[in-house]
């Protein structure tokens, strides 16, 4: 892992709503990734088995959406300071490489077996999408080309998945069902590139190569939102525009669903619109919360209004998001690899201890997950309290 740089709290004002939503996203990501009993968890804490949508399916696209927003805000700020595009592209490339290598670390820890190493994954997908959108923004800061590219990616992906014959299977909707689990173009391409041990689901990978195309569209929608936030409009106009865009995106996703089903594991185009709709609405909600808090601050002219407790809880994760995610993944792999005399690993033993007290499986699983999130939160809070933020 490349040595991270330590930064004090930036003096420039931040859009706190982004940090709050990012913190909620990372916290929920850790929660759903580390269920005590993955099969017995509540439905909302599990991904949809195939087509369909659960709250868990919103986590990754929301984070990628926020990457798009943050890319605009940070890059525009550095360009305004006079940094050259070549310098920024070099930083972008370096950051993408570090993110990808972190992804390999997370995927492989603690064994690092090349024969089974997973080259796809959450951080590798973030790295690729970030490299694409940040480079595009350096080429052109306009919004129209970003919208055209996002729509072209979604339409192009639909055409590939719907019209292109899958070698060895046939044409979707003719010889094979549309979005068959293994007989789809994305899964076929993953198998053509990597052998089964390298794929998360053996015959396919939810962060595979072809489905990165619509994932780029998710990040581009975040970039468009970031450009909207940078406009000269009032805070109220920005909030209203984001909320309306969220409703429109939800409607587009639902309307496309019958012809190209919402599917997180294939990152279908309808899924991109549907998830982006929820991400936009959540962002609008946090912007509204922050505006209300700022109003209370102004009304309390002689005393400072303290933010609610959950404000800090979310900011801890939101301002050190990558560090929190990597810590949670490495810790999960570590406790899953340490076996006790009972034959169970540490994770299983901890869950069984909770289950012995709480007989209800979904509730016991949730309690384990909440405790795990709390354990991960503490070291990240120590960084936050020391005003240390790890930047790649």
- Name residue, tokens 């209800």: 360
| DSSP string of 151-175, one letter each residue | HHHHHHHHHHHHHSPBTTTB-BTTT
Omega before 264 within 30 of 0, i.e. cis: no
Residues facing 51 on adjacent strands:
none
Q: What is the mean pLDDT of the chain?
A: 93
Question: Looking at residue 391, what is its pLDDT?
Answer: 79
Say whether pLDDT at 3 is over 90.
no
Say whether pLDDT at 276 is over 70.
yes
Rounded to an integer, the average pLDDT of 29-54 is 94
Question: Looking at residue 307, what is its pLDDT?
Answer: 76
How would residue 324 be classed by pLDDT, with cut points 50, 70 and 90?
Answer: very high
Q: What is the pTM of this model?
A: 0.93
- Name residue, tokens 């990165």: 212
- DSSP code, position 3: P
Question: Looking at residue 5, what is its pLDDT?
Answer: 41
Phi, psi dihedrals of residue 129, rounded to the nearest 5°: -65, -40
- 294-317, pLDDT tens digit by residue? 777 766 656 666 778 888 999 999
Say whether pLDDT at 151 is over 50.
yes
Phi, psi dihedrals of residue 9, rounded to the nearest 5°: -55, 130
Phi, psi dihedrals of residue 390, rounded to the nearest 5°: -85, 120
Rounded to an integer, the average pLDDT of 122-138 is 98
- 226-253, pLDDT tens digit by residue? 999 999 999 999 999 999 999 999 999 9
What lies within 8 Å, CB to CB, of 210 at 6+ separation is 157, 160, 185, 186, 189, 190
Percentage of the chain modeled with pLDDT above 70: 94
How far apart CA 350 and CA 166 sit, in angstroms, is 45
How far apart CA 344 and CA 335 sit, in angstroms, is 10
- 4-22, pLDDT tens digit by residue? 443 433 333 468 999 999 9
| DSSP string of 40-96, one letter each residue | TS-GGGS--SSSS--GGGGHHHHHHHHHHHHHHHHHHHHHHTT--HHHHHHHHHHHH
How would residue 181 be classed by pLDDT, with cut points 50, 70 and 90?
Answer: very high
Question: Looking at residue 12, what is its pLDDT?
Answer: 38
Tokens of 49: 């088995």
- 87-121, pLDDT tens digit by residue? 999 999 999 999 999 999 999 999 999 999 999 99
Rounded to an integer, the average pLDDT of 308-328 is 94
């Amino acid at each position: 892992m490349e040595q991270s740089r330590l930064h004090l709290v930036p003096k420039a004002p931040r859009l706190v709503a982004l940090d709050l939503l990012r913190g909620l996203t990372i916290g929920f990501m850790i929660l759903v990734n580390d269920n005590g009993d993955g099969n017995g968890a509540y439905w909302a804490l599990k991904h949809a088995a195939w087509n369909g949508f659960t709250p868990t399916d919103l986590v990754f696209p929301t984070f990628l959406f926020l990457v798009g927003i943050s890319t605009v805000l940070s890059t525009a700020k550095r360009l305004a300071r006079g940094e050259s595009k070549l310098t920024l592209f070099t930083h972008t490339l370096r950051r993408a490489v570090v993110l990808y290598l972190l992804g390999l670390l997370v995927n492989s820890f603690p064994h690092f077996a090349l024969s089974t190493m997973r080259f796809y994954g959450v951080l590798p997908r973030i790295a690729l999408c970030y490299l694409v959108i940040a480079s595009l923004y350096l080429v052109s800061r306009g919004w129209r080309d970003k919208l055209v590219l996002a729509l072209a990616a979604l339409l192009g992906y639909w055409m590939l998945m719907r019209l292109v014959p899958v070698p060895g299977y046939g044409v979707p909707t003719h010889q094979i069902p549309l979005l068959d689990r293994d007989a789809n173009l994305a899964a076929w391409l993953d198998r053509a590139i990597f052998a089964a041990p390298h794929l998360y689901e053996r015959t396919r990978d939810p962060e595979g190569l072809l489905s990165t195309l619509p994932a780029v569209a998710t990040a581009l929608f975040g970039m468009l939102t970031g450009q909207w936030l940078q406009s000269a409009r009032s805070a109220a106009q920005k909030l209203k525009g984001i909320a309306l865009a969220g409703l429109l995106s939800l409607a587009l996703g639902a309307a496309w669903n019958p012809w190209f089903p919402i599917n997180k594991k294939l990152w279908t185009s309808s899924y991109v619109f549907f998830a982006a709709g929820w991400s936009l609405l959540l962002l609008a909600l946090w912007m509204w919360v922050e505006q209300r808090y700022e109003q209370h601050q102004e009304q309390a002219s002689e005393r400072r209004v303290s933010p609610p407790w959950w404000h800090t809880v979310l900011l801890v994760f939101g301002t050190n998001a990558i560090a929190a995610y990597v810590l949670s993944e490495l810790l999960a792999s570590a406790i899953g690899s340490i076996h006790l005399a009972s034959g169970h690993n540490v994770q299983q033993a901890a869950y069984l201890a909770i289950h012995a007290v709480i007989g209800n499986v979904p509730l016991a699983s949730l309690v384990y997950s909440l405790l795990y999130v709390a354990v991960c939160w503490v070291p990240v809070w120590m960084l936050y309290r020391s005003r240390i933020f790890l930047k790649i």
